Amino acid sequence: MKKKKTWTQEEVIALYNMPIMQLLYDAATVHRKYHDPNKVQVSTLISIKTGGCPEDCAYCPQAARYHTNVKAEGLMNLAQVKEQALIAKAGGSSRICMGAAWRNVKDGPEFDHVLEMVRTLNRLDMEVCCTLGMLTENQAKRLSEAGLYAYNHNLDSSAEYYKEIISTRSYDDRLQTIENVRKTNVTVCSGGIIGMGENIANRAEMLITLASLIPQPESVPINALVPVPGTPMEAMETVSIWEMVRMVATARILLPSTQVRLSAGRTNMSREGQALCFFAGANSIFTGDKLLTTPNPAVNDDMDMFKTLGLVAQKPFEKKKQPETIATEASQYHDLGERPKWSRPEHKIQRNLAKQQLDK
């Protein structure tokens, strides 16, 4: 994947730590140059396959190895997904993001079913996003043919700190998946999480990695960790609103044309705090009472906040035209029965091991 590093870690740390009023002003100036400051893209996340994930992401309640209250469920049917999408559309969402608790996409009936979901939702004139784990170039092209607008695959953290939170997939595999998506006309959504014990240098390095991708991701979610009982990160302290504001503002300056999404953790933010994030450059949110399995503000609360702040929901396909949906029978790309050998790093995560010992 082509990269062009334009920022040093020292420069980004200095930016992140500058006096807050100056940082807000600088970020808001960039934001107004590239975006309408009163428009916010609204997405709804649907968990089409919940729980039972074989990964060991220390923050995630869907990992099968952790004892959380998440019940494993099979893949939703098409009618259920369409119904939820129509409700979301009526509530002001322009994008549906379908999430499946998979390590990676596997060719076969379940992936074929997801492709039909993409076709169905694109015909509803909504932007369709998927987050399904790692995927091959052929799988990315099949999603593109179905009419997928965006693919989400978060980096989560910097390459260095990543080793402290995940051991079942490599950082390079995440970058490879993004590269596979870039070989299609599907846009990229990729961001990370703060509040997992990382330092500011780690946060800076994650943003530098995202900013160095050519082209830069069209969407970058900034998540605040929501500590979930039963996961190795259940005792982590919630990040402050000032950390979120600084992260959003820094992301806006490094990624000027990207839509920066204020994502997980909004239930812990006041309206005033969220307003500061919007001023700093956030111009996308997830709405709906859940983000996969974690709580999120209700749609009515968000729309009331928009009214108070004078914000309006961005219409679908304002940033890029609607992709064409190619019928299954006319598809150029087909099931290859691929079984790629995605890597499994050898390192051990002490936090996760300690949690497993406590659970015995």
119, 142, 252, 261: the catalytic one is 261
Q: Which residues pair with 213 in a beta bridge?
A: 3
Token representation of residue 256: 């000027």
For residue 107, give the amino acid letter: D
**Where are the strands (E) in 190-267, listed by range?**
192-194, 219-224, 259-262
Token representation of residue 163: 């080793």
Token representation of residue 182: 């870039």
| 98 sits in which H/E element | strand 95-100
For the question of residue 130 being annotated catalytic, the response is: no
For the question of residue 277 being annotated catalytic, the response is: no
For the question of residue 189 being annotated catalytic, the response is: yes
Number of H helices, E strands in the chain: 12, 12
Q: Among all chains, which residue has been given the structure tokens 């906040």?
A: 305
Which of 134, 116, 355 has its CA nearest to residue 230?
355
95, 129, 130, 174: the catalytic one is 129
For the question of residue 65 being annotated catalytic, the response is: no
Which of 105, 162, 172 has its CA nearest to residue 135?
105
Largest CA distance in the chain: 58
Token representation of residue 114: 């997801």
95, 142, 189, 277: the catalytic one is 189
- DSSP assignment letter at 129: E
For residue 142, give the amino acid letter: R
Active site residues: 53, 57, 60, 97, 129, 189, 261
